[in-house]
Structure 1
Amino acid sequence: MTEMKFRDLSHLGTLDDFLDEDGIREEVTLRAIKSVIALQLRQAMKDRNLTLSAMAAEMDTSRAQLNRVLDPDAANVTLETLSRAAKVVGRGLKVELV
């Protein structure tokens, strides 16, 4: 069996350093947060056996708007809409400044 050799890459810095250097840290972070929220909402819908139509009706919105909420790449979703979606699946939405 061949022994693996690892190079010292500590001089490259962290992922945050890389993202800051490229000026995309905030954008990447926001996209990651939206992806996680969309995934959590989809899972909660599945756990509650909610269809897209039923979820949209309970949110008093269209299926097209709900699809934007559930689309990890759709960034133009209001906090109010996310909060309504969370409420329908029995969850809450927490937003904080760090």
Structure 2
Amino acid sequence: MKKKNIGSTFDSWLREEGVYEEVSANAIKRVVARQIASAMDQKGLTKAEMARRMNTSRASLDRLLDPENSSITLTTLHKAASVVGREIRLELV
């Protein structure tokens, strides 16, 4: 006889703890930072060149690429994606 799972899901537990949104946002930011950095590597772009093409500062790009920094604007994200030939898709579900 198989035992059924007992207890809640991890997402449910995060919601119960009141940290689901923060944890989810941080996870998404980490993935985005990794994807932008990977695309930069594939295109052979340095941080200085990437910032120049985005018409922003190197410090702003560093914040975008920092997986620990969740403060990014959609404008900065859109600029970065455009430079590396990608697009941003947001979906509310």
Do both proteins adopt the same fold according to a TM-score greater than 0.5, normalized to the shorter chain?
A: yes
Aligned equivalent of 1:88, options 80, 83, 86: 83
Report whether the alignment pairs 1:45 with 2:40.
yes
Structure having the higher Rg: 1
**What is the aligned length?**
91
**Counterpart Cα distance in 2 of 1:57 and 1:36:** 23
**Counterpart Cα distance in 1 of 2:40 and 2:19:** 32
**RMSD between aligned residues:** 1.2
Q: Secondary structure in 1 aligned to 2:6?
A: helix
Structure 2, unmatched stretches of 5+, are none
Residue matched to 2:67: 72
Q: C-alpha offsets along residues 31-63 of structure 1, whole Å, 9 cap, x if unaligned?
A: 111110000000000000000000000000111
Residue matched to 1:21: 16
TM-score of the aligned structures, taking structure 1 as reference length: 0.88
Structure 1, unmatched stretches of 5+, are 1-7
- How far residue 11 of structure 1 moved from its aligned partner, in angstroms, is 2.1
Residue matched to 1:31: 26
